[in-house]
Structure 1
Amino acid sequence: MSDPQMQQTESIRFLVDNIDSGNVVLPEFQRDFVWDIGKTYELFDSLVRDIFIGSIIYGKPSFEITVREVDKRPRKGTGSRAKLETMFFTREEIERKTQINNFRLVLDGQQRATSIYRALKGIDDVWVIIKNEEELTEEIQEEDFKYRLLEEIVHEFTGKEDEDRLSIKLSDAYEISNGDFFEEEIRENYFEKLSFLAGMDEKEIKDSFRRFLVIIKKLNTLYGSEKLLSYYLLNMNTEKFALFFERSNSKGVQLNFIDILAAKLYKGFNLREEIEKLQNSYHITDYKFNREIIVRTISYIISNSKEVDRTYILTNLNYNHFNDYWDIVCKYYKKAIDFLFKGNYILSQSWMPYENMIIPLIIFLKELEGNDFSQMNEKQHEFISYWYWSSILSQRYSSGTNEVIIQDSIVLGKVAKNIRISDKIYFNKIRTQINSFEDILALTKKGSAVYKEILNFTNFNSKGLIDWNNSSKLSFNSKLEDHHIFPKQYIKENYGDDENAISLIDCVANRTLLPKITNIRIGKKAPSEYLTDMKIKNKDIELSLKNHLIPVEILEGLYDDFYYDFVETRAKQIFELIEINIKQREKKILENFFQAPISSNSGNIKVFVTYYNKRIDATFDIETEKVLYNGKKYSVSAAANKAKEDLSGKANLSTNGWKFWKYTTDSGEERSIDDFRKSIIVS
């Protein structure tokens, strides 16, 4: 008989089923579910790639205990602040449930377990995006689609459908695999709702549906794989239970891929020494330089705007590249931080929502005439500001970060050269997802990028936050805390029976950035009480409150007994500023920076494709949507299949011709002819 405390495995489906049946629960004192949605995307990417994600540790207690359900609440809106159900079980009930139902507690790994459950049950929208045929290696393209591994064909996991790629929501796949659906039902209820299908002909739709079904089967296999989740099952008494939680927080040292790169470059470029020199240069000790930002920027430059991922970096970059580009990239990096701070986009690097957004800013500087932000024209400045705030509020850096870095770097490089953007869908991708003040009330997790953005946006709107003790402007990288305006303990003591108020204790509308020492002195007093104390030292405290977008009536005690009214009022005020500074500028940004890739729906253009390292040229008729190849006219996809057959010697190689054939824009950019189909649909 196997030792129950040895490592074992179970499937995702088994875990989800057991959470549904109440056989897997959490100890009541476990911390809340705190993972940002981006962590869930990374988790499923790791599962698909068979990367070890750590073991889940279950416990079978031999004592009475109160447990609570796994967090099934929506992230925002109705029910997001509902109280989680708790249950008390006697020792006898625990013993019976563990023997009959395999009842167990999640001691470690609840963030992973909860993320998996929420994705498969549709509480969180998690989409798997499949690569288009032309994005695959030639070796994989030669395989029949049904024999390809998920790892080979997955582009990314993200929070919404990709209009340019076949996309499947994980919860849909779970629902389909658990149901007894006919193909017609799957097609009507799930597949035909995809916007990816817009403009496709009948054959393309048929091929896409076949692929859709194959992916469903592959995901079903993934969900049912017994080896996917490893776990330990511990039988423990109260003493062991306590010891486990005392000792389970120790962490080992993790090797970063930059450390491996440093060893590779050491012969001709000492990366560790150079980053230390950089950190000590400029005589600015407050600046923190992230070596990964510099490395990925150099990778972008060397790869001609195509690669920033670790595989490319470790395989292709050498010390000559770093000797050539290190100094200039570091110079632009410093300028980018200067711009963000002096423009009040950030008050502290530690509170910057997405550090990777510095890379597109560096590329903007590289392409800008004069290589300095002072050389921007007003339209360029407007775009940078809109792009920065709107990109954060769209959470587009929460997933697929490498592709997003490349896409934004290309776009900002064009803006720097006053070249308009021909991809209208790009503007949809950076559109804010904050659509009401209630979305702001739902922001309670300080690790969330949008939470951080709201705090920084307050700083931006006020042209720099000031302290409350003396109304002096807060300095860069001050030791800041997200101070509770209504102190946490005050709310607990005065609103203990009000679940709505308790759920909003950590709401971002009740937070503002202040120096740590100021925050400590506030304690648990009523807002009017501690602010009146501060007014003795700072007679202009009303000015400080306005600067932090806090209603000055709070000083008079008008909100002391009306906490919800306070956070609602402040959330509405913040949302109004988002409307004015971001949402209402969408149309103007589109007018100033979008230009359709084609000016008419007729005429011929030269198209080409590179396949098997060979180039083929052809002609595309915009009006008839036919391709003239080797003297014959074909449909777009048939021409692609014929070209692939001629180059590879293999027949029946199906592909999406709209993504396969490329053309060159007036600005020299290579794009797929899908622009011609999408231009009519999107405009």
Structure 2
Amino acid sequence: MKIATILDQIDIGAMALPEFQRGYVWNRAQVKGLVQSLYRRYPVGGLLVWVTKTEGANVKGDNKLAPGSVELLLDGQQRITSLYGLIRGNPPKFFEGNKEAFTNLYFNLEEEEFEFYASLKMKGNPLWINVTELLQKGSGEFISKLATDPQFIPNLSKYINRLTAIDNIKNIDLHVEQVTGEDKTVDVVVDIFNRVNSGGTKLSKGDLALAKICAEWPDARDELKKRLNKWAVAGFYFRMDWLLRCVNTVTTGEALFSALDTKVDNISQVKDGLKNAENAIDNLLNLISARLGLDHDDVLSSRYSFPVLARFLFLKGGVLADYKERDKLLYWYIHTLLWGRYAGSTESVLNQDLALLNPLEGALDRLIEQLRKERRDLRLNSRDFITWSTSSRFYPLLYMMTRVWHAKDWGSGLEMSSHLLGNLNRLQVHHIFPKALLYKNGYSRAEVNTLANYTFLTQVSNLKISDRDPADYLPEIVNRHPGVLESCWIPMDKELWQVNRYRDFVSARRELLAKAANEFLDTLFNGYVPEMPVTISILDRVMPVVPGSVADDEEAKVLRECNEWVLSKQLSEGEIRYELVDPQTNQQLANLDIAWPRGLQEGLSEPVTLLIDEPNEVEEIANRFGYKFFTSVESFKEYVEQKILAVETIR
């Protein structure tokens, strides 16, 4: 079928993109390579389409489908989308991606080169031809202009042949292979898709499950997005796969998405499952925010405990028996957070824990006992607080203790509750011993950012203290607000407030933190923890800033901005504070500042991580596990633009 005819088929709705296909991910280098091959009449491969009835076909975009049957692109989306954008000047209706990849491609008649527009190189040079204009208008207009300029007459024949060769790209035939037959269900077709795309972007298990759901419920993806957007407005960011996993466990009691096939008879069960999962997650977010103080995305860890938590709450009819059951549930949740319960083989561990919910009587005791068997001891000790950075699993615990034990702000002397904070005054990380002072005295980055050197303050207090020496400012706080430092587990031996005694200070504070943490966890396990008054639902809150880190964490701000920059380029979202886990032992090996474990173009590019001021050990671990790592935002962006987006710069 001629390329021009294929594009016509898309316009009339006779060819479309199935819902389960991911968006457009090609970069400029790939588009340029395709056009160069077509120009030289090199083979570029055929298309694979699934011929299915228009009625019931689940496609991307809002284009109206042709009556009868439609051809859904299984293989060739990137090529056809690129050609559509080049020839039509705009992307097709099913387009999701970065149209800059095929916008402003030019051809040099003399050098026979394709390049994307660069003003310094091309402006005012008639030998550079806009490829889209040529494909839309035809070669005649360009030939006429050249024929009237004496300087081009000697090479006119050569230029005409080259212009015609580009214009005739529209008439190149591409082989179109069809997948037909009533036996070609969505399952079969997705399997075919994954096989022919073995070298490209494969569908995840969640993609496949969603594709099957969308075949019967076309609005499913939008309905899931509505819930994700609702939680995002409140400051909690979840992924589509995660929500679908919660729906799956609530509906089927199992973690594997295949259970949706074996245990679900009709789509109404999935719709009910989404409502039930949403209600459970709403309740859990309110419970964890109000009772534990984990009220924003930075400190909401152990996300994959939510499928188990949601299933348990669903089995309880959405209502916990009493405060003892509530607190025991939270006790289990915290320990999944501290020990990375779901950091490794998520599905197998989830299934193990979901099985412990039956029978419901005694389920929480069984879940806790399972953790105790694997950990042998659930009590914390001071060594557990040797961890450092806001990526530590114990970071949320420190935040939680600050909120639940009513720690007091050093500037105001008031409890750091939600009433004090409000929306515009979130808790900020404060280095008790300022970083500059410690670096000046020869302490390492790990020592400077150890968890025991962190406390949380309001923004006003944090800014007021700034980077003062604790030997100077801590005595002032003692005089102004007696008992405030003790509420934040600060060793009160003033000798330890000297910078030369820093190691002794953090050692003493670790002991205090471990003691307070165990007391806190004991109160949960035994059915009592100090109440935190509930005002409004956490989901009624609108976050005034983009979450992703504690507000004063400069490094996390850089990472957020970098992630936003990547998303603006229509590339995949990175995971901030990504836990790199040994696949054999499930042991946490390192925290990567921000990572793309499946590549910036998922499935098409290598794993990448940006590490800001990390020790060599982290870099070596990332490298060992196949990550290309960068140590500055500038070098990372240069890699993205030159290697991923293939944006050429003119110097």
TM tier relative to shorter chain: 0.3 to 0.5
Give the TM-score normalised by the residue count of structure 2: 0.42
Larger Rg: 2
